């Protein structure tokens, strides 16, 4: 009773402090107010990559959008337990390991490392946990056992199948009904399953495949049950948000619901979030169609901030066409923000006091939050940031000297919104502007040293040379003049 009251009080406080975030829930097919199960910690699960190759920029769209949702929840003051699984048992992994004549573990280790390199470059915040299927065999087998005991699953010669017709809610996420699905499917020759809709929870080992021991003999788990078992272990039987790309609604997420709810007799997930496809020539970008660019390829051409802005400027549930023009436009658009970022960094270093212009920061925070609260209208949120930059630039241009506190406040706004939520700005990034500044300063010192030598002030000219050397800048005199090299000799 006290616990309940405590919970209700916390909800009321939280809701009065935070405006309500509204999200489109694939399960209810409605935009709903987001009410966390436990306001002290939001439990968020995202289906991660199958680690048999580099991920492509289509996958990156889903990963970045999930990252933005997570960061916005944190902006609103929530703690978020964010779990992304790594699928490291799969047919595609086995195929790759056979092709490359390496064991599956070596293949997945390489691509897991590559995955972390790429998400770091994309400024995607590390998840709280990255559970791997191979490290959760006990939980996976336990869940399958429970489903067999409860007669939701059956054994067919060492393969365990989920009996879809036993689960009355099947189809509730995707909106498909069993009769229609049945009409569109057929049993493959030699398949042991009773019904074409049934799906594998456990696959009997074939020769040369990696396997684990189980009560049904040697084998490996199906993909769907991995996510059910790992999300339950790390986030509980019912948790707040489950996300992934649109392609996962059916069958993957539909099957996750069937497994988890049959095993636990509880609602599995409150809010289901799905991200639109990144297309290429109006067709889904995918490994199997071969129409993809890896994220690491695209990152060689465009900055992480531009890629994130390209995603953020689109409606997250709708399709988005991969476009060099839009990516270049994002890069160009960012120059406006980055020029201001450089100016802010410079002014904060200078630390000058002066007139503090009247500026309604709150109205910009409010507009940013209103956009994000309205089912993650990230493109509107980006527009608010551009309006803000324009207004700040206008003020700077019209004032003689502006107080450093103003720049601090401008920095705080951009850090909280553009950097920490959208990830389209990086205040600590070493940029071309910094390189140019370093170059200009060294050239200035070279000129002063030349003048000192001409004035026979050898003490000063030697001091400049030696002090620069200590800093790792080596001066080289020649007939043409003095040049410099960065390095110890
Ligand atoms: P996979 O490694 O294929 O399991 O995919 C990892 C994540 O990327 C899943 O959430 C997919 O739904 C998502 N995904 C795959 N292709 C695309 C695409 N073209 N656009 C957006 N998301 C995608
Ligand atoms: Zn999954």
Domain with 113 in it: what CATH number?
3.40.50.620
Q: Which of 419, 448, 472 is the last residue of a domain?
A: 419
Q: C-alpha angle 324/329/333, rounded to 5°? A: 150
Cα separation, 156 vs 193, in Å, equals: 7
Residue 289's Cβ-count burial label (10 Å; 0-12, 13-18, 19+) is: exposed
- Distance (angstroms) between ligand 1 centre and the Cα of 50 equals 10
User: Do 145 and 178 sit in the same domain of this protein?
Assistant: yes
Q: Provide the pLDDT for residue 18.
A: 55
Residue 315 covered by a domain = no
Residue 341 covered by a domain = yes
User: Do 390 and 348 sit in the same domain of this protein?
Assistant: yes
User: Do 260 and 160 sit in the same domain of this protein?
Assistant: yes
User: Do 442 and 476 sit in the same domain of this protein?
Assistant: yes
Residue 326 covered by a domain = no
Which tokens belong to 379?
Answer: 């493109």
Whether residue 250 contacts residue 174, with contact meaning beta carbons closer than 8 Å, is answered with yes
Residues, CB-to-ion distance under 5 Å, ligand 2: 47, 227
Task: Kindly write down the DSSP assignment for every residue of 80-145, as one continuous string.
Answer: EEEEE-BB-S-HHHHHHHHHHTS-HHHHHHHHHHHHHHHHHHTTPPPPSB--BGGG-HHHHHHHHH
Q: Provide the pLDDT for residue 436.
A: 65
Q: Which of 395, 419, 443 is the last residue of a domain?
A: 419
Residue 375 covered by a domain = yes
Q: Which residue has the tokens 């200590």?
A: 470
User: Do 211 and 285 sit in the same domain of this protein?
Assistant: yes
Residue 7 covered by a domain = no
Q: Which of 295, 320, 339 is the last residue of a domain?
A: 295
User: Do 266 and 382 sit in the same domain of this protein?
Assistant: no
Partner residues linked to 109 by β-bridges: none
Give residue-wise pLDDT tens across range 135-145.
999 999 999 99
The closest residue, in CA terms, to atom 18 on ligand 1 is 58
User: Do 210 and 102 sit in the same domain of this protein?
Assistant: yes
Q: Provide the pLDDT for residue 334.
A: 97
User: Do 151 and 197 sit in the same domain of this protein?
Assistant: yes
Residues 6+ apart with CB under 8 A from 68: 308, 312, 376, 378, 421, 422, 423
User: Do 238 and 369 sit in the same domain of this protein?
Assistant: no
CA distances from 483 to 204, 443, 469 (A): 69, 8, 13
Whether residue 275 contacts residue 317, with contact meaning beta carbons closer than 8 Å, is answered with yes
Partner residues linked to 25 by β-bridges: 30
Q: Provide the pLDDT for residue 401.
A: 87
Determine the residue of 44, 245, 273 to mutate for testing ligand 1's pocket, defined as the one with the most ligand atoms within 8 A of the Cβ atom.
Answer: 245
Residue 317 covered by a domain = no
Which tokens belong to 296?
Answer: 């690491």
User: Do 147 and 105 sit in the same domain of this protein?
Assistant: yes
| Length, in residues, of the chain | 489
Residues 6+ apart with CB under 8 A from 32: 22, 23, 24, 25, 271
The closest residue, in CA terms, to atom 14 on ligand 1 is 59
Q: Which atom of ligand 1 is nearest to the CA of 244?
A: 10
Q: Provide the pLDDT for residue 450.
A: 93
Residue 335 covered by a domain = yes
Whether residue 118 contacts residue 124, with contact meaning beta carbons closer than 8 Å, is answered with no
User: Do 364 and 258 sit in the same domain of this protein?
Assistant: no
Q: Which atom of ligand 1 is nearest to the CA of 246?
A: 12
Q: From the CA of 285, which ligand is nearest?
A: 1
The pTM of the whole model exceeds 0.85:
yes
Q: Which residue has the tokens 């456990």?
A: 202
Cα separation, 3 vs 28, in Å, equals: 29
Q: From the CA of 228, which ligand is nearest?
A: 2
Cα separation, 391 vs 393, in Å, equals: 5
Q: Which structural domain, as residue segments, surrounds residue 372?
A: 331-419
Cα separation, 203 vs 161, in Å, equals: 9
Q: Which atom of ligand 1 is nearest to the CA of 278?
A: 20
Distance, first Cα to last Cα, the chain? 73
How many of the other CB atoms lie within 10 Å of CB of 487?
A: 8
- Distance (angstroms) between ligand 2 centre and the Cα of 85 equals 7
User: Do 248 and 361 sit in the same domain of this protein?
Assistant: no
Find the CATH number of the domain harbouring 341: 1.20.120
| Among 26, 30, 124, 28, residue whose Cα is nearest residue 423 | 124
Counting the structural domains of the chain, the total is 3
Taken in order 367, 370, 372, 375, the sign of the CA dihedral is: negative
Residues of the chain with pLDDT under 50: 1, 13, 15-16
Q: From the CA of 85, which ligand is nearest?
A: 2
Residues 6+ apart with CB under 8 A from 229: 136, 139, 140, 142, 143
Whether residue 126 contacts residue 117, with contact meaning beta carbons closer than 8 Å, is answered with no
Residue 244 covered by a domain = yes
């Amino acid at each position: 009773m006290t616990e309940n009251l405590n919970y209700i009080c916390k909800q009321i406080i939280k809701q009065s402090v935070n405006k309500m975030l509204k999200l489109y829930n694939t399960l209810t097919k409605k935009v709903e107010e987001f009410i966390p199960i436990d306001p002290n910690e939001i439990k968020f699960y995202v289906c991660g990559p199958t680690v048999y190759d580099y991920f492509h920029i289509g996958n990156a769209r889903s990963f970045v959008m999930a990252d933005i949702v997570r960061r916005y929840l944190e902006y609103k003051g929530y703690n978020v337990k964010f779990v992304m699984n790594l699928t490291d048992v799969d047919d595609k992994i086995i195929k790759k390991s056979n092709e490359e004549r390496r064991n599956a573990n070596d293949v997945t280790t390489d691509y897991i490392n590559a995955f972390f390199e790429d998400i770091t470059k994309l400024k995607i915040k590390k998840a709280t946990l990255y559970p791997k299927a191979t490290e959760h065999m006990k939980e996976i087998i336990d869940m399958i056992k429970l489903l067999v005991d409860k007669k939701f699953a059956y054994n067919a010669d060492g393969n365990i199948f989920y009996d879809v017709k036993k689960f009355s809610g099947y189809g509730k996420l995707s909106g498909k009904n069993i009769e229609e699905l049945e009409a569109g499917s057929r049993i493959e020759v030699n398949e042991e399953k009773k019904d074409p809709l049934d799906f594998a929870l456990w696959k009997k080992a074939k020769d040369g495949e990696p396997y684990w021991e189980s009560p049904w003999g040697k084998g490996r788990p199906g993909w769907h049950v991995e996510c059910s078992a790992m999300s339950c272990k790390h986030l509980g039987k019912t948790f707040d948000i489950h996300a992934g790309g649109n392609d996962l609604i059916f069958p993957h997420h539909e099957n996750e619901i069937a497994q988890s709810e049959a095993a636990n007799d509880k609602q599995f997930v409150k809010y289901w979030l799905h991200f639109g496809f990144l297309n290429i020539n109006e067709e889904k970008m995918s490994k199997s169609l071969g129409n993809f660019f890896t994220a690491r390829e695209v990152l060689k051409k465009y900055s992480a901030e531009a890629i994130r802005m390209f995603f953020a400027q689109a409606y997250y549930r709708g399709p988005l066409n991969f476009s060099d023009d839009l990516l270049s436009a994002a890069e160009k658009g960012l120059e406006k923000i980055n020029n201001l970022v450089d100016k802010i960094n410079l002014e904060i270093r200078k630390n000058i006091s002066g007139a503090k212009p009247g500026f309604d920061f709150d109205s910009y925070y409010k507009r940013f939050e209103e956009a994000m609260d309205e089912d993650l209208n990230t493109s509107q949120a980006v527009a608010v940031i551009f309006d803000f930059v324009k207004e700040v630039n206008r003020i700077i241009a019209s004032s003689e000297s502006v107080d450093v506190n103003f720049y601090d406040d401008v920095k705080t706004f951009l850090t909280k919104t553009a950097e920490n939520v959208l990830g389209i700005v990086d205040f600590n990034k070493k940029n071309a502007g910094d390189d140019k500044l370093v170059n200009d300063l060294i050239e200035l010192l070279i000129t002063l040293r030349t003048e000192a030598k001409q004035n026979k002030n050898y003490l000063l000219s030697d001091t400049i040379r030696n002090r620069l050397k200590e800093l790792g800048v080596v001066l080289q005199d020649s007939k043409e003049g003095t040049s410099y090299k960065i390095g110890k000799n």
